[in-house]
Amino acid sequence: MPPGLRVWWSRVRGLLGRRALERDVADEVRSHLEMLIEDHVAEGMTPAEARTRARREFGNQLATRDRALDSWRFARLESLVRDLRHGLRGIRRAPAFSAVILLTLALGIGATTAIFSVVYTVLLRPLPYPEPDRLVWIGESAGTADGISVTWGNLLAWEAQSGSFEMMAAYARGANRTLTGEGEPRVTSGWVVSHDFFPLTGWRAAAGRLFTEADDRSGAPPTIVLTHSFWQSALGGADAVGRLLTLDGSAYEVIGVLEPGVEFLDPQVDFYLPTGLFFSGAADRTRHGSIRVVARLAEGRSVEEAKADLDGILARLARADPGPEDDHRAYVLPLSTVVRGDLGSTLWLLMGAVGLVLVLACANVASLLLGRSVVRRREMAIRSAIGAGRGRLVGQLLTETLALAGLGGIVGVGLAHLGLAWLVARGPWGVARLADVAMDMPLLLFAAGLTVLVGLISGTAPVLTRRADVVAALKEGSPSAGAGRAGQRLRGTLVVGEVAITVVLVFASTLLVRSLVTARSAGPGFDVGRLLALELRLPAGTYPSADSRRQFYETLVSRLESHTWVESASAVGCPPTWGDCGDWWYSIVGRPPPARSEVPVGLFDVAQPGAFAVLGVPLRAGREFGPRDRAGPPVAIVNETLASRWWPSPADAIGASIKIGGPYQDGSVVEIVGVVADASQTSPDVPARPEYWLPFASDPHGRMTVLVRTQGEPGAAIPAVRRLVSDLDPTLPVWSLRSFDDVVAGTLATRRFSTWLLTLFAVLALILAAVGVYGVLQQWVSARRSEIAIRMALGAGRSSIFGWVGLHACTLVGVGLGLGLALALGASRWLGAVVFGVSPRDPITLALVVLGVILLAAGAAGLPLTRAIGVDAGRELRRT
Amino acid sequence: MSTVDDPPERLEFLQGTLEVLVLRSLAGEPNHAYGISQFLERQSNRAFAVDNGSLYPALQRLLQRGWITAEWGKTPNGRRARYYTLTRAGREQLAEATSRWERFVEAMGLILVPEG
């Protein structure tokens, strides 16, 4: 151990073994004295003489002992403890003052920590898989479509030829099956994965085994791996390995159960099936299923290098065997990007906003402390005069602030904990990772760091204005007269900054509120009242043929329509606001064929006759599908966005033909018979994409959404709808049955939530800024009472005093307002991503903000102004 | 000349003089604080009057650095006393300090007592 460290360590031990040290030194001094006395007696002195002599010779015993022990102490630490005690005493002496500071800090720290927890969990925390930084997600891209499925052929070529990856695994979501034979029939959802999926995610089996390479080969036996939660809910946690489960009428042998608490992209997976069941063995490069690839990059490979490598392999394949997909390329993203989704902009906006609130809180606390430091000038001056060094005083001030900040931090973490529970419960995040957000070590460290930072920042202001003007401070009679000019200036600056920040926050929240209002009044583009959505998935086992599926849905719809409580009914594959259920290429027959990379993409779907009438989506031209479309020439309906891209008016589109799949893919040519208005595909604040529909009868899916417009309250019809379904097929589970009201309300939930939070922050900012403005003006007025009295004595009227103080207030607020508006306009660039329907530099919003801030300032300045004009000149002048 | 172009080290050595002398006094045999002060006074022909207010803290500092150890023992007169013993690190430190001091004295001598 080096001597420096050894000394330090000895002090640590000294702290613990203090008593033993003290005893040793005291004993040593005593024995020293006794030996001295002994020697003196031996020289011939009387014992009394010897003792006196020895004491004199030894010197000050007490000081010797103390100085010997001093070297074992942490001098700094002990003075810190002293400062801390002093600081806590100060907090108790001024309870109201301390409470305001504490509350301000707790709110700032708490809000920041809560939002940061969400940001950290969703955006920053490493993914829970081995080597998360090297995991990538791979799809194919072709022309304008990115992330489409990878073909088996391409995947096999990549696996065999690429050196950029340590491991690659295929997965396909949405292997949904109806489970029978375990109580009520139920809809279950599974994924198909290749065997490397499990080593990639690092998951282990809680029982049995996971897939091996043999399970990837075609002709693999029908096996199944269950998730822990499905094993619990479906099989009651009973011994499962080796059991047979019946899914869609086929038996699968359970070979393993996964460990609990693992998930990948989708929290609601019930089971995993091996790829061998679906992979035919034929490596056709153009046969798209629905597989995507997750892979781990080889050590030191970048995403770009890996993509270039995969693209090279695709290009080689295209040269060796030209085909329709020669322009396909790899689409490679870091897995974290895929997992984190598109919450980024919203979360960073909230983080920025809450950061500004924290800055405001710091500024307010600094300002309050500055105000108080004026009062404490004399105390400090006296301490300085009796020998406390400047460093010592600064240390004491900072310690006091840090003590306050520490308390604020503790309360803040408590607030953050509550706030977080609320955020998780109420937030429409749709992010599974958020469920496991907790105030764990990294977040507590963040809160602690934040607290220290906040304490230092707000504690620095009073220190900065502390000059060595001891004499002046001691000579001054009154603590306020002329004192702390520098402090006043600094507080003025702080208030200007506070107003500016508030303007930015209020501006942003007003923009979001206006966006929300616009999005809401824009509406979803169809009639959501009294409308039910019944989702069904017909199992391939019981409905193997297109005819059986068509017949089922047609019977269901006609039975529904026969009831009096149903106004109308129909079905589509993917109703409005359901999101992106699939897109495909198309091209317009008779137009010059687009280049391979330019083939347009549209959402595509199927619809039964009358579906748009039931939805209340207006027809712009032509007609809906009818019964005759089943047998007649192939037809399509397009939405207004698609029609307006190619034709001047909707009517011009009627009679034109589109080629499904575009010029480079197989697909039929269909005639446009109708153009319907745009309805929200995901949510009212997302612009519509081109979309086209084919008649359900021409391509009867098993997976449809039946639309039911009821006569009365839709909730009351729900049991009747369920009964109808089970009358038709008792083994068919209802996938979902909801009122559109709920669905549509959900589409704006994220926007509503972030708007709400941002508005909350803006209100907090307004309150903090109001307190700041009030505090500074109040101090300004009380420092100028004599000046006001003199002005009054010299004949100034109340209105002129009012004007004088008012001018000061207006200067502070005006400068802050100007600065804030400049900042807000600068920030509007980043707000563009979250604003809908209003310009990010919307003048009405700006006007509203200016008005709001002026009102705030007037409110905050009111009391100080009244105090100023209420000064009793005679009494004030006699007092001085 | 190269031996004297290191002023901070020399200064430190001067400040730590008492500590070096204590180490030297323990070079022969373990001793207690009273014995050490007697030794120093005797060896310096009473040029040094050892102040206990400095000696005790110096002993503690040496203990903290691990250059000496302390143990309670008995004096020849049968009295209980705390005996200090030089450790190996302390011995090395003493050798180093002594050689530094010799170089220092030599350099000072060259300047203060010119030849001839």
What pLDDT is attached to residue A480? 44
Tell me the average pLDDT across A122-135.
86
Q: How confident is the model at residue B10 (pLDDT cuts 50, 70, 90)?
A: very low
What pLDDT is attached to residue A11? 65
- Tell me the shortest Cα–Cα distance from B66 to chain A, in angstroms: 7
Residues of B in contact with A63 (CB under 8 A): 53
Q: How confident is the model at residue B6 (pLDDT cuts 50, 70, 90)?
A: very low
H-only helix segments in A43-196: 47-58, 61-70, 75-93, 95-119, 152-161
Most A CBs within 10 Å, among B52, B54, B62, to test the A interface:
B52
CA A442 to chain CA centroid, Å, is 16
User: Which of A580-594, A857-871, B5-19, B78-92 shows the lowest per-residue confidence on average (mean pLDDT)?
Assistant: B5-19
Distance CA A459, CA A398 (A): 5
Q: How confident is the model at residue B2 (pLDDT cuts 50, 70, 90)?
A: very low
* Residue A867: closest CA among A794, A816, A806: A806
Q: Which of A188-202, A320-334, A759-773, A843-857: highest mean pLDDT? A: A188-202
The ipTM assigned to this model is 0.81
What pLDDT is attached to residue A383? 67
- Smallest Cβ–Cβ distance between A34 and the set B51, B57, B79 belongs to B79
Share of chain A above pLDDT 90, in %: 24
Q: How confident is the model at residue A386 (pLDDT cuts 50, 70, 90)?
A: low
Closest chain B residue to A25 measured between Cα atoms? B56
User: Which of A3-17, A192-206, A629-643 shows the lowest per-residue confidence on average (mean pLDDT)?
Assistant: A3-17
Cβ distance of B77 and A38 shorter than 8 Å: yes
What pLDDT is attached to residue A707? 94
Q: Is A93 helix (H, G, I), strand (E, B) or coil?
A: helix
Q: How confident is the model at residue A485 (pLDDT cuts 50, 70, 90)?
A: low
Mean of per-residue pLDDT scores for chain A: 84
What pLDDT is attached to residue A16? 61
What pLDDT is attached to residue B116? 47
pLDDT tens per residue, range A275-294: 888 876 666 777 777 889 99
CA A254 to chain CA centroid, Å, is 38
Chain A, window 630-659: residues with a beta carbon less than 8 angstroms from a chain B beta carbon: none
pLDDT tens per residue, range B27-73: 889 999 999 988 888 887 777 777 888 888 889 888 888 899 999 98
In this complex, is the C-beta atom of A59 within 8 Å of any C-beta atom belonging to chain B?
Answer: yes
Structure tokens at A27: 């004993």
Residue A306 has pLDDT above 90, yes or no: yes
* Residue A873: closest CA among A769, A818, A797: A797
* Residue A141: closest CA among A295, A8, A333: A333
What pLDDT is attached to residue A406? 87
- Tell me the shortest Cα–Cα distance from A390 to chain B, in angstroms: 27
Q: What is the rounded (10 degree) CA torsion for A485, A488, A492, A493?
A: 70
Distance CA A308, CA B16 (A): 68
What pLDDT is attached to residue A754? 82
Residue A377 has pLDDT above 90, yes or no: no
Q: How confident is the model at residue B12 (pLDDT cuts 50, 70, 90)?
A: very low
Distance CA A366, CA A361 (A): 9
Distance CA A318, CA B78 (A): 103
Tell me the average pLDDT across A630-650.
91
- Smallest Cβ–Cβ distance between B79 and the set A28, A35, A59 belongs to A35
Number of A:B CB contacts under 8 A? 69
Distance CA A227, CA A207 (A): 11
Distance CA A555, CA A569 (A): 11
What pLDDT is attached to residue A310? 92
pLDDT tens per residue, range A211-257: 998 888 888 889 999 999 999 988 888 888 899 998 888 899 999 99
Amino acid at position A123, single letter: L
pLDDT tens per residue, range A78-102: 666 777 777 777 777 777 778 888 8
Residue that the structure tokens 């501006």 belong to: A507
Amino acid at position A570, single letter: S
Residue that the structure tokens 């919003």 belong to: A845
Q: How confident is the model at residue A712 (pLDDT cuts 50, 70, 90)?
A: confident
pLDDT tens per residue, range B60-89: 888 888 899 999 988 888 888 999 999 999
User: What residues does A140 pair with on adjacent strands?
Assistant: A148, A330
H-only helix segments in A376-484: 377-385, 390-426, 441-464, 470-475
Closest chain A residue to B80 measured between Cα atoms? A31
Given a contact cutoff of 8 angstroms between Cβ atoms, the answer to whether A506 and A513 are in contact is no
pLDDT tens per residue, range A156-178: 889 889 889 999 999 988 788 88
Tell me the average pLDDT across A789-795.
84
Tell me the average pLDDT across A724-750.
84
Residue that the structure tokens 């404490």 belong to: A376
For A726, half-sphere exposure in the C-beta direction (CA atoms, 13 angstrom radius) is 11
Distance CA A219, CA A67 (A): 87
Residues 6+ apart with CB under 8 A from A92: A98
Q: How many CB atoms lie within 10 A of CB B97?
A: 18
Q: How confident is the model at residue B4 (pLDDT cuts 50, 70, 90)?
A: very low
User: Which of A85-94, A458-467, A534-543 shows the lowest per-residue confidence on average (mean pLDDT)?
Assistant: A458-467
Residue A296 has pLDDT above 90, yes or no: yes
Residue that the structure tokens 């360590």 belong to: A9
Residues of A in contact with B51 (CB under 8 A): 59
In this complex, is the C-beta atom of A2 within 8 Å of any C-beta atom belonging to chain B?
Answer: no
In this complex, is the C-beta atom of B42 within 8 Å of any C-beta atom belonging to chain A?
Answer: no
In this complex, is the C-beta atom of A25 within 8 Å of any C-beta atom belonging to chain B?
Answer: yes
Amino acid at position A693, single letter: W
Residue A44 has pLDDT above 60, yes or no: yes
Share of chain A above pLDDT 70, in %: 89
Q: Which residues of B26-60 are buried (b: 16+ CB within 10 A; e: fewer)?
A: beeeebbbbbbbbbbeeeeeeeeebebbebbbbbb
Q: How confident is the model at residue A8 (pLDDT cuts 50, 70, 90)?
A: low
In this complex, is the C-beta atom of A67 within 8 Å of any C-beta atom belonging to chain B?
Answer: yes
Top-confidence residue, A326 or A478: A326
User: What residues does A737 pair with on adjacent strands?
Assistant: A534
What pLDDT is attached to residue A1? 54
Top-confidence residue, A31 or A97: A31
* Residue A744: closest CA among A443, A541, A537, A529: A529
Top-confidence residue, A609 or A856: A609
**Torsion sign, CA atoms A41, A44, A48, A50:** negative
What pLDDT is attached to residue A224? 94
In this complex, is the C-beta atom of A66 within 8 Å of any C-beta atom belonging to chain B?
Answer: no
Cβ distance of A64 and B34 shorter than 8 Å: no
Residue B16 has pLDDT above 90, yes or no: no
Cβ distance of A28 and B33 shorter than 8 Å: yes
Top-confidence residue, A346 or A30: A30
Residue A361 has pLDDT above 70, yes or no: yes
Distance CA A153, CA A160 (A): 11
Top-confidence residue, A462 or A875: A875
In this complex, is the C-beta atom of A3 within 8 Å of any C-beta atom belonging to chain B?
Answer: yes
pLDDT tens per residue, range A795-817: 888 888 888 888 888 888 899 99
Residue A659 has pLDDT above 80, yes or no: yes
* Residue A837: closest CA among A553, A511, A594, A545: A511
Q: How confident is the model at residue A647 (pLDDT cuts 50, 70, 90)?
A: very high
